[in-house]
Amino acid sequence: MFLWVLSWFACAIQLGFGILCVAAGLYYLAELVEEYTVIARKIITLIVWVVAVVHVCIWLWEDIPAFVIGTGFLANATCALLLKNFPFVSLSSTRFLSAIVMLSVNHYVAFQFFTTVYYPFSEILAYFTVCLWLVPFTYFVSLSANENVLPTTTPIVTVHNDGDAVADALSSKRSRRYGILSVFNYIFHKATKVMPTRTKTK
């Protein structure tokens, strides 16, 4: 009985460390995308093509209906249209709304199929991870590079550097955080206020 309780306690610790690792990884990826938007666009383009090839391979070698594969392929192509103005994405644009609609339809069709036809859980998870979640996840991480879309912004702190316009622009840019970065920065600042601090004694 004691080991059973201890195993649940250990699982809770492992889950906590896993969440911290995922959060740190997301923050690091968001920072990289914000600094290297051109490279990020090339990587997302490559991922879109890889997912398209995976759809074709599943259609050729698996018994999944063409309607399910076609819906996934169309949803992937709709997400690919967002690359035209990357990293600037308007939430009210037709391309973004179409991508959201196709993503929802793709999930609905996939859930309907896998609830009626038996597949091992590992294969279902593989399909959802690669064909449904991979491309939207890359866009989710890259939203921090968009300065025109998300309302989660921190106040801009005006820093004057003796008339240096370049330094003022860089300081203003660093003071703005969007999307994932704004959320993590908010959590980090709240955590530092809660955690005790050491004061040096003379």
Percent of the chain with pLDDT over 90: 35
Residue 123: enclosing H or E segment and its boundaries? helix 121-127
pLDDT tens readout for residues 125-183: 999 999 999 998 888 777 665 553 444 444 444 444 454 444 444 444 444 444 555 65
Residues 157 and 70 grouped into a single domain: no
pLDDT tens readout for residues 32-45: 777 777 888 888 89
Residues 102 and 134 grouped into a single domain: yes
pLDDT at 149: 40
Residues 59 and 102 grouped into a single domain: yes
DSSP class of 79? H
DSSP class of 186? H
Single pTM value for the model: 0.66
CA distance 120 to 181: 37
Residues 181 and 133 grouped into a single domain: no
Residues 125 and 165 grouped into a single domain: no
CA distance 109 to 200: 61
As a whole number, mean pLDDT of residues 52-77 equals 92
pLDDT at 36: 79
Residues 46 and 142 grouped into a single domain: yes
CA distance 176 to 146: 11
pLDDT at 1: 72
> ω into residue 120 within 30 of 0, thus cis?
no
Residues 142 and 163 grouped into a single domain: no
Residue 60: enclosing H or E segment and its boundaries? helix 37-61
Position 83 in a domain: yes
**Whole-number mean pLDDT of the chain?**
77
CA distance 22 to 20: 5
Residues 142 and 159 grouped into a single domain: no
With a cut of 70, say whether residue 104 has pLDDT above it: yes
Position 202 in a domain: no
pLDDT at 159: 46
Residues 78 and 142 grouped into a single domain: yes
Q: How confident is the model at residue 22 (pLDDT cuts 50, 70, 90)?
A: confident
Position 96 in a domain: yes
Instruction: Give the orientation angle of helix 179-194 with respect to helix 2-35, to 10 degrees.
Output: 130
Residues 51 and 140 grouped into a single domain: yes
How many domains are contained in the chain? Answer: 2
∠116-119-125 over CA atoms, to 5°? 110
With a cut of 60, say whether residue 199 has pLDDT above it: no
Position 176 in a domain: yes
pLDDT at 160: 47
pLDDT tens readout for residues 116-127: 999 999 999 999
With a cut of 80, say whether residue 21 has pLDDT above it: yes
Domain that holds residue 156: 150-185
CA distance 184 to 104: 27
Position 78 in a domain: yes
CA distance 161 to 166: 9
